[in-house]
Structure 1
Amino acid sequence: MRPVKQVYQFVVYSLRTKLTRVQYIMLVATLTGLFSGLAAVLLKTLVHYLQDWIKHIDVSRFSYLLFPVIGLLLTVLVIKLFFHSHIEKGIAMVLRSIARKSSFIPLKHTYLHIVTSSLTVGLGGSAGLEAPIVATGSAIGSNTARISDLNYRERSLLIGCGAAAGIAAVFNAPIAGVIFAIEVLLTEAIVVSYFIPLIISSVVGALCSKIILQESFLFNFVLKSTFDYRNVPFYVLLGVLAGFVSRYYARTFKGTETRLHHWKLNAYGKAIIGGTMLMALYFIFPPLFGEGYESITSLANGTPGEINDNTAVFSLLNEDWSLVIFTGLIVLLKPLSAAITIGSGGNGGNFAPSLFTGSYLGFFFSKLLNITGWVKIPEGNFSLVGMAGVLSGVMYCPLSAIFLIAEITNGYELFIPLMIVSAISFFIVKSYDPYSMETRQLAKEGQIFTHKKEKNILTSIQLTDMLQDRYDNISIDQNLRALVDIIKKSERNIFAVHDQKGKFAGIIELNDIKQLLFQPELFDKTPLRKLVKKPADTIGEDQDMHIVMEKFDITQSWYLPVLDKERNFLGFISKSKLFSKYREILDSQGDLYDAEH
């Protein structure tokens, strides 16, 4: 690996001397798009051939039911043997890296998601490949930027470039790739110059899939019905339904995943039980197997007859009603199967499951209306628009959802209903919770960036960087003379005092003892115990900068002491230093073209 890195750096550095800074970034963005696009193609190909192999196994009609258990066990085994029994998964890992780790993503993330998610999803896990692809592409962007000697702002941009290329490659949708990177990952204020490297990476990624992947690998449709404005009321109703189904999806997924996580079983036991639960679901509802894109295609192309169950239960009903009930139950069970897959140790995401749920929701809604005989609406179109509605509501990415479905349908015929359904769905879920299910807890903890710029800047500042630890502290049992000796050698005007056990006892400010300093006869007679006072507040070493800033606002203090969990004094944090750092970060967030000057 080292020789490859050295060759890369030699070539890139030699070009760097001949290129401007912006041209150099465009070159690195192109390489990121290429590497990420190839990684997405590799993952998609691995999963396709694994699932194709399973289909052609002739041992038994139901032999495929065993593979989800095998996939989960293999995923757990690989993680245990090669990744120390734990990996950070999905989009949340990327967002945390941007906000808390200076956009550095460990090198192992460039391949671990390809290996683990191909085993999970390729062998039947009911999850999606898009989150692993985003994680892989982002890791490629981060590491390409690192060895190309780019700064934090440029590394963050390259992370977005890698993710955009991955999404563009897996869906052959370059516009959706760009919008996803901006809407989900680069949540800070985006500048116009960011679009160019993002577009370049996304186009290169899409070309990788267009050139290498077979047409059957790609997820696309040909519309059979045009948009009819008279169906707008039904699209509005679908948008409302998609919003509440998205809420149901999030609650069901997180609740199930949390319960599985807290099971007191080893990883292999969870995988076996989770795989067995999936077997039961797949036996009655075969479309839940794997990503489910084939059954989505059947719905959108108007051939729902290809979707059936393995039992005779639904055949007892009228054909139309059995299809409505069957698809309605799948809408309710998909988040459960996705949660079991990921909660049992598998690696995957909610992007594909939310598309799957939305497609079945759109079909269920339109089919239900059609069999009443009162109206006749295009079931294929509603299946496609439903995908955008639930994706928007689950992932909190309405623009990405709109452009993704528009691109995979090879046109903008459905643009108006896509906008209606996605906007309504997003509005409903946003009214209940400002953050998506994957980022809610991290956002509340200040672990990721949000759309609030001032909070993002505070999130990027580490308490340890702001801590001024070169402060003398003195025992509370000493007298004023001992403090005066310290004052003579110090430039500080605030001092920490500790008790007999070395624990923080309070502070002494120079202004409070100024008059005593001119009375030497009192130095030996004045114990520090009489001079010490409690600070306006204290800061814990594990508190984030949002809390620190709130404490400064409430107390109106310029210095606050920082203590560890045992109440040992670590140092002071200065409001003026914090403001200075804030302004420094704000000044650095300029346009890429500013680097030219």
Structure 2
Amino acid sequence: MALITSLIKRFLIWRVRKIDDKKFMMFLSVIIGVIVGFSAVIIKNSVHFIQKMLTSDFGQQYHNYMYFAYPAIGILLVFIFTKYMIKKPVGHGIPTTLYAISKNNGKIKPHNMFSSIITSALTVGFGGSVGLEGPTVATGAAWGSNIGRFFHLSYRQVLLLLACAGAGAMSAIFKAPIAAIVFILEVIMLDLTISSLLPLLFASVTAAITSYLFLGMNVLYPIEITERFNINFIPYYILLGILTGLVSAYFTKMYKFIQEWFDKQSNSLYKWILGASILGLLIFFFPSLYGEGYDAINGCLHGTSDHLFNNSIFYDLQNNMFWVFVIFLLVIIFKAIATSVTFGAGGVGGIFAPTLFIGANTGLLFARVFSYFGLKELPFSNFALVGMVGLIAGVLHAPLTAIFLIAEITGGYSLIIPLMIGASISFATARLFDKYSVYTYQLARRGELFTHDKDKVVLSILKVTKLIETDFLTICPEATLGDLVKVIAKSKRNIFPVIDDENMLLGIVFINDIREIMFNREMYDSVHVNELMYMPTPIVSPEESMEDVAKKFKMSSNYNLPVLDNGKYIGFVSRANVFSAYRNLLKKFSED
């Protein structure tokens, strides 16, 4: 073991001496791209293998009952794996990555390098109504984080590796290298320099090539655009954009409501039983909710509604247009619930696939209603595409990612104008109801959201505990003025905390307040510290965010603020020290 440690140290020293940081980051970005590409291949093939093994020999008489049971089994296996094998929570893909960037200096636990693959494959393979992109991003980010820590890279370099991993994951899982880079800039929201784009490009391209080698060169959703952009359809694209924005708001509200309800439940077994039962019941009646739903999406893109009735107890109703529309609507409504309870019950997955599913069904339903009632003959495939872009833009608050992703995964660049209309209108509509996306609302609620605002980024990284100054001499309240003068003579500070025997802060004495009496010896024994002290405001707690501390400095005009932990004195934070730390970190963060 000592030999291995010695070799690693020698290699790290050699690397620093022989390879400059920019070249090394490009090399690592390629390595990350390959690793993430393989992760995507493993996740995809694992899910395909599990689903084929479970559903290929369904007997007609009991297949719906198996749909009810399988998701519960899959989520139970996830529960057993996380509780008894890795003994740590896996987390939900992209929110986990955002939290690592925002509050954990880019650190992600090593088990996430493999645990997200296993848990998501079990969840989706057994029918959990979620996607695979989130766990793939989490897996790649974990590799990026731990590789960065292994090579003792700087905070900014670790963030860049996380960005490369995220771009590679999206590129590999969707075969969409351009959308992957847009996703990093828009959703992960890293404030990257121009030179940082080169490693992103390397990672994205490498991951896409790896995916092509093992999953084929075809786009994810092959579709032939038979009807090009028609300017006469613009009003209908606008209407669909508004509709998808409203559906996005419904999805987000439902997701938040169900997640918050499950978070309040402390019994994991109860959450599994309830969540798995609801999910199983929904899939029993609507089998199209099983798993990612990519076959259903492909059906929508080809203008068919067969996916609504395949293996369904409603099969005999497929020629009745009234019931077709009703089941379309129910599937859209219940998909949001199925996705949310999959997470609530303990499943692991992503949000992209459910939004694509709901968007495709919403767009197709919109076009079919207009066509059926003779209002306007609309191209089904085109409106299904615009529905997909609208849901991604509205739910994820990522209109640019939506446009490029849908164009890349379908080869639908000829419809770029309708895609832009749908994305922008849906995003604007959804923002009226929710300021934050499903990825960011929990972080935003706790004030932990990483943003493009570099000031907030730097302040979020600074910790109060790292900036506490403890060289202030203390004094007890019963001490006399003469005792205080002796303490002043030994101190380099002009503030003197007054504490009791239990280290509780009772007040402070500011030297400027006693200048007129501190040299009057006649008062040394008659005046006591408790007559001179006052309780300072505001105060700071060790766990407080630096952004709040900066606001307190601004509001109070104080140069030093006391830090108390449940009333007990710890030290002070100074305006000068905070500003100096801020400037140093900002310089480090901005280095190219």
Give the deviation of 1:281 after TM superposition: 0.7
Mapped to 1, the partners of 2:482 and 2:36 lie a distance apart of 66
Does the 8 A contact of 1:160 with 1:186 survive in 2? no
Mapped to 2, the partners of 1:217 and 1:50 lie a distance apart of 23
- DSSP-derived class of the 2:291 partner: coil
- DSSP-derived class of the 1:560 partner: strand
1:111-190 aligned within 5 A:
111-188=114-191, 190=192
For structure 2, the residue ranges without an aligned partner over 5 or more in a row are: none
Aligned partner of 1:71 in structure 2 is 74
Taking structure 1 as reference, are residues 591 and 384 closer, same or farther at Cα in structure 2, changes over 3 Å only? Answer: farther
Aligned partner of 2:235 in structure 1 is 233
Q: Which amino acid aligns with 1:196?
A: L
Deviation per CA, 1:554-583, whole angstroms, max 9, x where unpaired? 111111111112x00111111111111222
Say if 2:103 is the partner of 1:90: no
Aligned partner of 1:43 in structure 2 is 43
Mapped to 1, the partners of 2:505 and 2:15 lie a distance apart of 56
Aligned partner of 1:457 in structure 2 is 458
Say if 2:272 is the partner of 1:262: no
Aligned partner of 1:390 in structure 2 is 391
- DSSP-derived class of the 2:571 partner: strand
Mapped to 2, the partners of 1:36 and 1:8 lie a distance apart of 24
Taking structure 1 as reference, are residues 140 and 220 closer, same or farther at Cα in structure 2, changes over 3 Å only? Answer: farther
Cα RMSD for the two superposed structures: 2.3
Aligned partner of 1:376 in structure 2 is 377
Mapped to 2, the partners of 1:100 and 1:520 lie a distance apart of 53
Deviates more, 1:471-480 or 1:151-160: 471-480
Aligned partner of 1:561 in structure 2 is 562
Mapped to 2, the partners of 1:177 and 1:423 lie a distance apart of 19
Give the deviation of 1:269 after TM superposition: 3.3
- DSSP-derived class of the 1:73 partner: helix
Mapped to 1, the partners of 2:5 and 2:134 lie a distance apart of 27
- DSSP-derived class of the 1:370 partner: helix
Does the 8 A contact of 1:536 with 1:557 survive in 2? no
- DSSP-derived class of the 2:498 partner: strand
Aligned partner of 2:34 in structure 1 is 34
Mapped to 2, the partners of 1:252 and 1:550 lie a distance apart of 35
Question: What TM-score does the superposition give when structure 2 sets the normalisation length?
Answer: 0.94
Taking structure 1 as reference, are residues 405 and 36 closer, same or farther at Cα in structure 2, changes over 3 Å only? Answer: same
Does the 8 A contact of 1:5 with 1:147 survive in 2? no
Mapped to 2, the partners of 1:57 and 1:146 lie a distance apart of 47
Q: Which amino acid aligns with 2:291?
A: G
- DSSP-derived class of the 2:414 partner: coil
Aligned partner of 1:595 in structure 2 is none
Deviates more, 1:437-446 or 1:332-341: 437-446
Q: Which amino acid aligns with 2:55?
A: K
Aligned partner of 1:329 in structure 2 is 330
Does the 8 A contact of 1:284 with 1:309 survive in 2? no
Give the deviation of 1:124 after TM superposition: 0.5
Identity of aligned residues (%): 35
Give the deviation of 1:75 after TM superposition: 0.6
Aligned partner of 1:23 in structure 2 is 23
Aligned partner of 1:540 in structure 2 is 541
- DSSP-derived class of the 2:590 partner: coil
Does the 8 A contact of 1:359 with 1:386 survive in 2? yes
Aligned partner of 2:441 in structure 1 is 440
**Aligned residue among 193, 196, 212 for 2:195:** 193
Aligned partner of 2:205 in structure 1 is 203
Give the deviation of 1:10 after TM superposition: 6.5
Deviation per CA, 1:231-264, whole angstroms, max 9, x where unpaired? 1111111111111111100111111222233335
Mapped to 2, the partners of 1:35 and 1:4 lie a distance apart of 23
Give the deviation of 1:15 after TM superposition: 5.5
Give the deviation of 1:348 after TM superposition: 1.3
Mapped to 2, the partners of 1:65 and 1:388 lie a distance apart of 31
- DSSP-derived class of the 2:181 partner: helix
Give the deviation of 1:434 after TM superposition: 2.5
- DSSP-derived class of the 1:478 partner: coil
Mapped to 2, the partners of 1:452 and 1:47 lie a distance apart of 39
Aligned partner of 1:484 in structure 2 is 485
